Amino acid sequence: MSNIRFEQIEGKSLGFYTLITGLWILILAALGSVYYVEHYGHFVTGMNNRIVWGIPHVFALFLIIAASGALNVASISSVFNKKLYKSLSRLSGLVALSLLAGGLMVLVLDLGRIDRLIVAMTEYNFKSIFAWNIILYNGFFVVVAIYLWMMFERRMDKFSHKVGLVAFSWRLILTTGTGSIFGFLVARQAYDAVIMAPMFIIMSFSFGLASFILILMASYKWTNRPLGNIIVNRLRNLLGVFVAAVMYFVAVYHLGNLYLAENAGIENFILFDGGIYTKLFWYGQIILGGIVPMVLIYHPFTKGDRSMLGLSSVLIIIGGFVQLYVIIIGGQAYPMELFPGKEILEGYGDIAQYLVSLPEIFLGIGGIALAIIIVTFLVKFLAFLPESLEDDLTDSYHKG
Amino acid sequence: MNKTLNRRDFIKIMNATTTGVAIVASGITLTTFASVNEIPVTNKKRWGLLIDTNKLTETDIDGMVNACQQEQGWGTETHSTASQKPGWIKKLKVKDKATNKVSNLALMCQHCEEPPCVDVCPTNASMKREDGIVLVDKHLCIGCRYCMMACPYDARSFVHETLNNQKEHMPRGKGTVEACTMCVHKIDKGETPACVESVNSEAVIFGNLYDESSQINQTLKIIQSSQIRSDLNLNTGVRYSGI
């Protein structure tokens, strides 16, 4: 293991500066959108009193759960002692922190009163899962930062197993907390289910790894560093298992809901007659984000092709966004069951409408841009990436 | 000891005097404000409403909505769309699937004993008073809208735009959440909520649910009433009969 050489990237090429400039433009566009919404009020967004969490929440939650999933690669190395993954641990920690920062930026800037952030940090209702999540998110930064320190500092390496264990447990609790934001909402048929927590955990495994793979492949390609097949194939297989597991949980969630008569309405809505939400569920989440990536990952014709793995990762990410859109927006669009056994003729009970607005989209994309810019800058200034991940080296780590 | 007062001593004395006066004066002011509320808020009371849908006409409900708007000043937003405008009280028409009986009712914050909005609020902005009235502290609300996700009655609204000419007793604010306050400012003065006052029949009764001599308590003892989503065990302060 001692022969892994971590090196900063040079970061002087035209491509590097173009990337940084592009990302800055996206971040500035997001901040401009926030100013616009704050100045005029949230009436300029697509949200209303029924759809209170719009597309920014889809972006924010995607980034937050992908963040905890991105840490898995490091966990596999230090918690489960898989040496092959040790070379990727630093990047794994960095991607995790960056994605979380991007997600939190979107979440915070979507608040009605951003200026009261200090209130959110000083007033805690410990009964609120949301308040717990604020602690879990901030704690994640601290835990992963310490974890990275253990990895960077040779003398501290002996502690990395224990700190890794803490980080791994923390990320599981964090995603449980994020899933529970929905899982404990008793009022809404789409949410009130304990399975939301484990489902969010497995979603985080999948979305986080897909994001990690893309960042890994892009950084090695753009810096002309060797990236061997051994490590890529390992990640590919892992990704396949995670996608299958997400689909399994989605199936159990919907079948379980169908079994309960009280949830027949919402299930019909999502699975059969929910218009855009049904289309997004089947075409976006299941086919594009689940079945196609699985085929690309496991089919003999595409299995060894690295660009197909990239495509699978992109599709899994798109599918993940769609899945969160269906959960968050679809779950709100469907009316709550106010009067069981009765039909509401007027005043409530219609399907709520939501039209995504540009400022909301810019804000969400700004979160992704922030995550990528943090990774790009830090790999230039600190030695996160191994100089080489070619097969000869990784093979020896694996055996060693 | 015939010491003359120099400038430094003068400043010291003035500082001490000013601080002393400020402390005493603020104490007097606080006592004065505290004495405005002559009726203490305790858990010995539980304010509630009983809405009889058999007596309540559609005109009554329109009147209730208007009275609430007049009293609290919501609904004059100019930029928000219909689905973005606040609605503290709604008119609902409900049909029984088996009997086809149609009931009209007014739906507002149900002032739950176990309010989900209070449980989920990260900053304690959503809170329940000792007398059961559920409110939003506008200074603590960060506009996260989680309470709106959690409320089973769709009773809360988000203020989507800058507001002008607000009522003195109801400072509303852009970017925060609001809902029916049961006209707490009137109740604290011994009056009844505006929506109740607007109804000329006994279709809506307001009172202390715990007071055995109150009309609401007496009526609830002899008639069949229900809570909306009683399966959630929230023990609402607003009760309905006839549905």
Within 8 A of B116 by CB-CB distance, chain A residues are 185-187
Torsion angle (degrees, nearest 10) of CA A282, A283, A286, A291: 140
| Residue B113: CB atoms within 10 Å | 15
Beta carbons within 8 Å of A69's beta carbon, 6+ residues apart: A171, A175, A203, A204, A205, A206, A207, A208, A209, A211, A212
Q: For residues A110 and A233, give the distance between their C-alpha atoms in angstroms, rounded to a whole number.
A: 39
The Cα–Cα gap between B115 and B133 comes to 10
Residue B97 pLDDT level (bands cut at 50, 70, 90): very high
The CA distance from A61 to A317, in Å, is 12
CA distance B72 to B75: 9
Q: What is the mean pLDDT of the segment spanning A351-378?
A: 97
pLDDT value, residue B38? 60
- B89 vs B23 pLDDT, higher one: B89
Contact call for A344 and B121, based on CB within 8 A: no
Q: What is the CB-side half-sphere exposure of residue A275 using CA atoms within 13 A?
A: 9
Enumerate residues 190 to 229 of chain B having a beta carbon within 8 A of any beta carbon in chain A: 228-229
Indicate the pLDDT class of residue B33, thresholds 50, 70 and 90: very low
Distance CA B211, CA B207 (A): 8
Tell me which residue in A43, A47, A125 faces B123 most closely, judged by beta carbons: A125
Please determine, for residue B57, whether its predicted confidence score (pLDDT) is greater than 80.
Answer: yes
- Tell me: pLDDT of B135 over 60: yes
Per-residue model confidence (pLDDT) at position B120: 97
pLDDT band at residue B34, thresholds of 50, 70 and 90?
very low
Q: Over 90: is that where the pLDDT of B4 sits?
A: no
Taking residues A146-168, report their average pLDDT.
90
B101, A341 contact by CB (below 8 A): no
DSSP letter, residue B17:
H
Contact A339 B94 (CB under 8 A): yes
Tell me, yes or no, if A301 comes closer than 8 A to chain B by beta carbon: no
Instruction: Name the residue with tokens 């009983």.
Output: B50
As a dihedral over the C-alpha atoms of residue A132, residue A134, residue A138, residue A140, rounded to 10 degrees, the angle is 50
Give helix A160-183 / helix A196-222 axis angle, nearest 10°: 130
Q: Is B211 buried (19+), middle (13-18) or exposed (0-12) by CB count in 10 A?
A: middle
* pLDDT above 60 (res B35): no
The per-residue DSSP string of A16-77 comes to HHHHHHHHHHHHHHHHHHHHHHHHH-GGGSS--SS--S-HHHHHHHHHHHHHHHHTHHHHHH
A120 with B122: Cβ contact below 8 A: yes
pLDDT higher than threshold 80 for residue A165: yes
Q: Do residue B150 and residue A187 have CB atoms under 8 angstroms apart?
A: yes
Name A119's Cβ contacts closer than 8 Å, sequence gap at least 6.
B123, B140, B142
Separation of alpha carbons A182 and A24, rounded Å: 33
A376 in Cβ contact with A20 (< 8 Å): yes
Q: Is B162 on the interface with A (CB under 8 A)?
A: yes
Q: Which residues of A touch B152 (CB under 8 A)?
A: 186-187, 336, 338
Report the mean per-residue pLDDT for chain A: 94
How far apart are the C-alpha atoms of B155 and B139, rounded to whole Å?
Answer: 20
List pLDDT tens digits, range A332-360.
999 999 998 899 999 999 999 999 999 99
pTM across the whole model: 0.91
Residue B1 has pLDDT above 70, yes or no: no
Which of A119, A185, A339 shows the shortest C-beta gap to B149?
A185
What residues are paired with B241 via a beta bridge? B52
CA distances from A87 to A56, A165, A247 (A): 34, 18, 30
Segment A169-193, tens digit of pLDDT: 999 999 999 999 999 898 999 998 8
**Contacts of A190 by beta carbon, 8 Å cutoff, 6+ apart:** A266, A270, A327, A330, A331, A332, A334
Q: Is B78 on the interface with A (CB under 8 A)?
A: no
User: Cα separation of A136 and A146, whole Å?
Assistant: 15
Task: Give the residue-averaged pLDDT of A130-158.
Answer: 92
Residues 169-208 of chain A with CB under 8 A from chain B are 181, 185-188
Residues of A in contact with B120 (CB under 8 A): 127-130, 185
Q: What percent of chain A has pLDDT over 90?
A: 85
Closest CB to B160: pick one of A43, A336, A339.
A43
Q: Are B184 and B174 in contact (CB under 8 A)?
A: no
What would the two tokens of residue B136 be?
Answer: 């939003």
- A123/B148 touch (CB, cutoff 8 Å), yes or no: no
Q: Is the pLDDT of residue B14 over 60?
A: yes
Closest chain B residue to the Cα of A187, Cα to Cα: B152
Compute the average pLDDT of residues A310-331. Answer: 98
Chain B partners of A262 at a C-beta cutoff of 8 Å?
Answer: none
**Predicted confidence band of residue A364 (pLDDT cuts 50, 70, 90):** very high
What gap in Å lies between CA A318 and CA A217, rounded to an integer? 18
- Between CA B102 and CA B54 the distance in angstroms is 10
Q: Which site among B141, B158, B231, B236 would you substitute to test the A interface, given the most A Cβ atoms closer than 10 Å to its Cβ?
A: B158
Dihedral of the alpha carbons of B85, B87, B91, B97, in degrees to the nearest 10: 90
Q: How far apart are CA B128 and CA B136, in angstroms?
A: 9
Contacts of B160 in chain A (CB under 8 A): 41-43, 48
How far is Cα A239 from Cα A70, in angstroms, rounded to an integer?
Answer: 12
Task: Give every strand in the sheet of B238-241, ordered side by side.
Answer: B204-208, B47-52, B238-241
According to the model, what pLDDT value does residue B10 have?
61
Helix (H) or strand (E) holding A289: none
From B231, which residue of chain A is nearest by alpha-carbon distance? A340
ipTM of the complex: 0.93
Nearest to A188 by CA among B56, B128, B120: B120
| Alpha carbon distance A26, A39 (integer Å) | 20
Q: Is B33 exposed, middle or buried (0-12, 13-18, 19+ CB in 10 A)?
A: exposed
Asked if B174 contacts B159 with a C-beta cutoff of 8 angstroms, the reply is: yes
Residue A84's pLDDT is what? 84
Q: What is the pLDDT of residue A396?
A: 66
Q: Give how far B195 is from chain A: nearest CA, Å.
A: 18
Interface test with B, best of A339, A351, A353 (most B CBs within 10 A): A339
pLDDT for the residue numbered A81: 81
A376 versus B165: which is more confidently predicted? A376
Our CA-based measurement puts residue A94 at a distance from the nearest CA of chain B, in whole angstroms, of 28
Confidence (pLDDT) at B11:
64
CB contact under 8 A, B122 and A187: no
Does the beta-carbon distance from B84 to A49 stay under 8 Å? yes
Asked if the C-beta of B232 comes within 8 angstroms of chain A's C-beta atoms, the answer is yes
Between CA B52 and CA B238 the distance in angstroms is: 11
Dump pLDDT digits (tens) for A206-257.
Answer: 999 999 999 999 999 999 999 999 999 999 999 999 999 999 999 999 999 9
Residues of B in contact with A49 (CB under 8 A): 83-87, 148, 154, 156-158
Q: Check residues B32 and A250 and name the one with the higher pLDDT.
A: A250
Q: DSSP for A128-195, please give it.
A: -HHHHHHHHHHHHHHHHHHHHHHHH-GGGGGGHHHHHHHHHHHHHHHHHHHHHHHHT-TT-TTT--TT
**Do A112 and B146 lie within an 8 Å CB cutoff?**
no
Residue A91 — pLDDT band, cuts 50, 70, 90?
very high
Q: What integer pLDDT is reported at residue A400 of this predicted model?
A: 47
Burial code (b: 16+ CB inside 10 Å, e: under 16) for A334-351 equals: bbbbbbeebebeebbbee
Decide which of A160 and B211 is more confident. Answer: B211
pLDDT at A1: 47
- Give the closest of B122, B156, B158 to A112, CB-based: B158
- Between helix A358-381 and helix A55-70 the angle, nearest 10°, is 20
Set of chain B residues whose Cβ sits within 8 Å of the Cβ of A42: 84, 158, 160-161, 175
